[in-house]
A and B are shown apart, each in its own frame.
Chain A
């Protein structure tokens, strides 16, 4: 089983996790920029974090045979702190970097006016930098948050197929399915979604435009939840090809819209065709 975890915060994980992930089949991942357990209080703190996402963390992942990409953004919670909001002006310097495959996580935490402003501004950055957007949905008052999220996405003019609305569940997926946006599900030990419920969602909605992630971070979470979901799908009668669609081809299709995915042919056989600009396809990696 080859796995691309489209949302995992490796900065908070250990090398044991990297080893276990590789053993489970994880060959590529995307680490979205987000908040840490301890709130940041300055722009410099963000810049060091972003530098790590395009420097140290990909190096660390590579030691374990895993391709690391990231998304860059001012997260919704810290958009409310005026000491941090200034970082918005500095995002354009990160978005053109090789490993940055989307703007994210953006969206809502408490749905404040400050969050409105940061969300809209960063959707525009995604448009001008020709990148997809990863949108976090709030854990509190999620239904209303998803509603408002979809309205802001629509108003921004970004193509819905370039947006993933993340952390959905059985209830909120119904709001997103007709929007044209991708639907992200975070499989957690005891909150958000679990493997069994995910399988039920896949039965009802199919595999199209669906991303499954572990969203593992500094809280109680499990970086192997992608694999466990794949196993649960197989046990429930899904085919290996359907598992591959959900755990590999879908995230490659979504983030491939950046034109900046770097995947190894040898590790990712059969990743073919339609994702122009990504280096699985291009003859510019000097093997010419």
Chain B
């Protein structure tokens, strides 16, 4: 996702009024990045909030994209940029925090955005967890935290297909964790989410506790009703 992609996607999803407001807002933060603090909370009301791609309800929203363009328009780098986005995240509501997480790969922050990703992964809000595990986490997050994040998705009902880091970042340890999870679920007589199947399939040699129970994993019914378990 680049600013140009976002701009193109947004043209079909915003009213003329919203488009004008966003252009003006981007111009303002280019001149004076400090004004972003007042503009950031208004974006949902001015630009809209639905999915950017109606076919992808778990992906970017219109307000995510608009807020990301605002952040990308700031003429800041390094510590100053990190301080500004850190403050927007800390003082943001859930939608503002989600947007900061989404925008990370568009911003020249190196590894500096990782504390925000880790903060989001400590929540139980699926919107934040999914946004935290986007392209930025795929490229920057350490293996242990990434694996825990993926497992948290399985627990909270976030479809693994929403993670750009899979299957690329899947490894034997991740497969082992998922196998153990599936074993517990099967032992409890509960359903196993079927989207762990592809990760397991990549590592057929991983020692799986009670692996005989897992033969039906790929066809098991998905239990997605309970995002509260986390």
Interface residues of A (CB under 8 A from B): 15, 51, 54-56, 58-59, 63, 93, 96-99, 259-260, 277, 279, 283-288
Among B61, B94, B123, residue most surrounded by chain A Cβ atoms (within 10 Å): B94
* Residue with the highest number of chain A CB atoms closer than 10 Å, among B15, B45, B124: B45
Q: In the complex, given contacts A56-B94, A96-B41, what are 10 additional A-B residue pairs having Cβ atoms less than 8 angstroms apart?
A: A54-B93, A55-B93, A55-B125, A283-B15, A284-B18, A284-B45, A285-B48, A285-B50, A286-B49, A288-B15
Distance, CA A285 to CA B125, complexed state (A): 22
Selected contact of B94 from candidates A55, A93, A260, A283, CB within 8 Å: A55
Q: Size class of B's contact patch?
A: 20 to 34
- Residues of B whose CB lies within 8 Å of any CB of A are 13-15, 17-18, 38, 41-42, 44-51, 61-62, 91, 93-95, 97, 123-127, 227-228
Q: B41: which A residues are within 8 A, CB to CB?
A: 96-98
- Give the distance to chain A from B49, nearest Cβ to Cβ, in Å: 5
CB distance from A20 to the nearest CB of B (A): 16
Given known A-B contacts A55-B125, A97-B41, A286 and B97 have beta carbons under 8 A apart: no
* Complex CA–CA separation, A63 to B229 (angstroms): 12
- Separation in Å of the B225 CB from the closest CB of chain A? 10
Give Cα A15 to B229, complex, Å: 12
Give Cα distance in the complex from A277 to B44, angstroms: 12
What are 12 A-B pairs with beta-carbon distances under 8 A?
A54-B94, A55-B93, A56-B123, A58-B94, A59-B125, A59-B126, A63-B228, A260-B45, A279-B49, A284-B17, A284-B49, A288-B14
Residues of A within 8 A of B91 (CB): 93
- Docked Cα-Cα span, A112 to B123, in Å, equals 39
Q: Contact between A59 and B127 (Cβ–Cβ < 8 Å)?
A: yes
Contact B97 A98 (CB under 8 A): no
**Which A-chain residue is minimally distant from B42 (CB atoms)?**
A96
